[in-house]
Structure 1
């Protein structure tokens, strides 16, 4: 092989290596662009999550803490991992970060679903919840009626007062208490409007149960005597 042939072969080999290096550099640049794009998208998702978290906190009456700009820390940290690769494969780091963001999304959806439920009897229907509350308040009114009945028996409360409280005062107080309870604890944290309180139904329940319990109690007393 002449000197010229050797020179040509060396040039071809060098040219092939240069092209191979260029292809590798292009692939590496493309990989880095993809990683940085992924980091940016994660930052945008975290910013949206932070904004929604702030809305949920405001609806629940919780003041958000003062934090850095949304997504800035994630973008910077992930960008450093992508740039250096000291702590591992940047693609693996990014995939793990994406998995964590997905998990935060899932937990956020669960929290939002819970925030759509009232604190009081959250799994019950609005009608069943209202009936339970009004019946409970009427039951408390019945207990108060029994106390007044005992007080009447020992002469502390006269019959007119007992009759007025039993027929009007205690039913009204029971109804108002149930109405207020439904408005306070029957309202979901994210509700835009007042919850249904079924005022006519509640009034009927309280107006019937307390006087009915009074009549039943008097009847039992007479039977016992």
Structure 2
């Protein structure tokens, strides 16, 4: 092979390597752009989650500013420099890949001094994988794509828990699976029944004869239904309304329905009590 042929072959090999290097550079740039896009998207999701948590905290009366922060991760020992990285314990021996490093310099006798320096595995700076992770997790992976995927999965889990929390906050504490009218009817009927028990106690403990219970009858037919209605209003306002209620959602207290139930149930039960007392005399 002549010199020109060798020169042409070298030129072709150099061109091939150059094209390969350009493709590698383009692939690396595309990978970095993808990572940056993923980081931007994740940042927007985290900002939206933070705003959502703020709204939930304000709704339940626990602002996020009053929530204590998590304890800081374990860091270097006090007194270490800003670039210090925690190394192995003092009792640990040299790990794999460690070895003495020769420090070139004049010794006391003019010869080189050989010392043990940090080798490849002596706990030097090794990127994100060398930094300790959260308690119970260990070191973070060194691959940015893996770290981004892990953060995305954690964000998905946070979204799921946030949706479950919001769904629970939109259900009242009292009879959460019931509809609003059925809940109101149950509460007013229950309050009216409790009031009727007080009426029965007043009727039994009254020293007046059954035919002359004017005061007891007045209190039973007027005061007890009113107290039962007020008690039902309080119960529905306190436990019958969800924490995250929309501005357009009805209060769910059903005032006319409650007044009718309390005005009919309590006097009807009082009349039934009087009839029973007359029959049992």
TM range (shorter): 0.7 to 0.9
1:124 aligns with 2:187: no
Question: Matches of residues 77-88 of structure 1 in structure 2 within 5 Å?
Answer: 86=129, 87-88=141-142
Residue matched to 1:214: 270
Query: Aligned match of 1:93 in 143, 147, 171?
Result: 147
Residue matched to 1:74: none
What is the TM-score of this pair, normalised by structure 2?
Answer: 0.68
1:121 partner SS:
coil
Residue matched to 2:261: 205
Bigger-Rg structure (1/2): 2
2:206 partner SS:
helix
Aligned alpha-carbon RMSD (Å):
2.2
1:58 aligns with 2:58: yes
What is the TM-score of this pair, normalised by structure 1?
Answer: 0.83
* Cα distance between partner residues in 2 of 1:138 and 1:96: 57
Question: Which is further off, 41-50 or 6-15?
Answer: 6-15
Q: What number of residue pairs does the alignment pair up?
A: 207
1:102 aligns with 2:156: yes
Alignment gaps of 5+ in structure 2: 68-126, 130-140
* Cα distance between partner residues in 2 of 1:181 and 1:85: 55
Residue matched to 2:15: 15
1:65 partner SS:
helix
Residue matched to 1:224: 280
Question: Matches of residues 51-200 of structure 1 in structure 2 within 5 Å?
Answer: 51-65=51-65, 86=129, 87-153=141-207, 159-191=213-245, 192=247, 195-200=251-256
Question: Which is further off, 93-102 or 128-137?
Answer: 93-102
Question: Which is further off, 5-14 or 168-177?
Answer: 5-14
Which has the larger share of helix? 1
Question: Which is further off, 44-53 or 175-184?
Answer: 175-184
Runs of 4+ with >6 A deviation = none
Kindly state the Cα deviation for residue 85 of structure 1 after the two structures are TM-superposed. 6.7
Residue matched to 1:72: none
Measured at CA, do residues 64 and 181 of structure 1 come closer, stay the same or move farther in structure 2, by a change above 3 Å? same
Q: Deviations over 1:102-157 (max 9, x none)?
A: 222222222222222222212111110110110111111011112211220489xx
